[in-house]
Amino acid sequence: MDSVSTQVSIKPYARPPKGSQPPLLYEPYRATIKRAPLKPMIVLPHTLSEVTGPIFGHEKVGEKDNDLTCQYPGEPIGERIIVSGRVLDSNGRPVPNALIEIWQANSAGRYRHIKEQHPAPLDPNFSGAGRTLTDEHGAYRFITIKPGAYPWFNHYNAWRPAHIHFSVFGTAFITRLVTQMYFPGDPLFAYDPIFQSIPDERARQRLISRFDLETTEPQWAKGFKFDIVLRGPEDTPFET
């Protein structure tokens, strides 16, 4: 311990490519107008405070927390789906033990939230919330119900495409990611400013899960794949 120098250099993380992340101010998404900082951001060289972050263990997750269909005595209404994928860093290294938390509307497009006003039914057998940790290969899996689209007040006749909110912790506080997973072929993409806020077309498409026959279980549930890439350290790509 004593031989370790306190002047060890900090290994910085790579900055995301231009256009791959949304801007702070995106006027079509009205709520950004009063909430986006307008003064210049200070570019922060990474210190130990940025390249460290919380690492969670199994105490944060219950055994069945990744199955949103079995939290109540009865089964939730809707289309049962399996959402799975891997969490990797931008060098292609799997991120094991990453805490993933999800939340979503039920099949009717209604959240179990006190401020939710959409007049669609609540499902007594569905909370819409779950969590899991990735395994040693960075893999995760949830069983849930396909969420419905829901209306909001951003503009006249505004509807959010069906989505599942994902919150992911990687290896550092600055690799923290909160995003939304969408379903292929949703006709609402073209009208949704949250989805459209990402300038780069390819990056935007990455938020759309893909139907996967391999993880689909016969007579039981459709499979959707959603891989997540977190920022990785600025270094050589993983040899594969």
Choose which of 112, 120, 135, 211 interacts with other proteins (CB under 8 A): 112
Contact 167, 101 (CB under 8 A): yes
Asked if residue 31 binds other proteins (CB under 8 A), the reply is yes
CA nearest to 67, candidates 183, 177, 145, 174: 145
Show Cβ contacts of residue 65 under 8 Å, excluding neighbours closer than 6 positions.
130, 131, 132
CA 22, 209, 205, 172 dihedral sign is positive
Considering the candidates 13, 26, 150, 182, report the single residue annotated as catalytic.
150
CA nearest to 127, candidates 104, 147, 146, 148: 104
Query: With respect to other proteins, which residue has the nearer C-beta, 154 or 216?
Result: 154
- 3-class DSSP assignment, residue 156: coil
Smallest gap from Cβ 187 to other proteins, in A, equals 19
CA 191, 19, 45, 231 dihedral sign is positive
Choose which of 70, 75, 113, 121 interacts with other proteins (CB under 8 A): 113
150 is catalytic: yes
Binding mask 131-170 for other proteins (x = CB under 8 A): x---------------------------------x-x---
Report how far residue 163's alpha carbon sits from residue 140's, in angstroms, rounded to the nearest whole number.
18
Query: With respect to other proteins, which residue has the nearer C-beta, 183 or 195?
Result: 195
Burial of 61 (0-12, 13-18, 19+ CB in 10 A): middle
Asked if residue 107 binds other proteins (CB under 8 A), the reply is no
Query: With respect to other proteins, which residue has the nearer C-beta, 2 or 219?
Result: 2
Smallest gap from Cβ 94 to other proteins, in A, equals 9
**Segment near other proteins (CB under 8 A); pick from 13-21, 70-78, 183-191, 212-220:** 13-21
Query: With respect to other proteins, which residue has the nearer C-beta, 82 or 230?
Result: 230
**Segment near other proteins (CB under 8 A); pick from 112-120, 141-149, 183-191, 211-219:** 112-120
Query: Which residues are marked as active site?
Result: 111, 150, 160, 163, 165
